[in-house]
Amino acid sequence: MNKESIAKIWVTADAVWIRTTDGREASELFSNYVRLQKATDEQRGNYRVSHFGIHWPEIDEDLSFDGFFAR
């Protein structure tokens, strides 16, 4: 899955969510990632989208789009 497959990315109090262009939604809980769990709301909101995932430069964390649907 790549960036062109993603229609929306949003952050809630406890997770990061994605919606694909075909309407599927998935989330990753911050509690499953130590760096995201310990990050401030501001740091969690400061992410960059790469071709294959989401990167948080301040905390050096990456999540791939494919990983959201790996279960």
Q: Which two tokens stand for residue 43?
A: 């740091």
Where helices occur in the chain by DSSP H, the ranges are 34-38, 41-45
User: pTM here?
Assistant: 0.91
Given a contact cutoff of 8 angstroms between Cβ atoms, the answer to whether 32 and 15 are in contact is: no
Residue 36: partners with Cβ closer than 8 Å, 6 or more residues away:
16, 30, 44, 56, 59, 61
Instruction: Give residue 2's pLDDT.
Output: 83
The CATH number assigned to the domain holding 12 equals: 3.30.2020.40
Counting the structural domains of the chain, the total is 1
CA-closest candidate to residue 35, choices 64, 12, 62, 17: 62
pLDDT in tens for each of the 71 residues of the chain? 888 899 999 999 999 999 999 999 999 999 999 999 999 999 999 999 999 999 999 999 999 999 999 87
Structural domain including 33 reads: 3-69
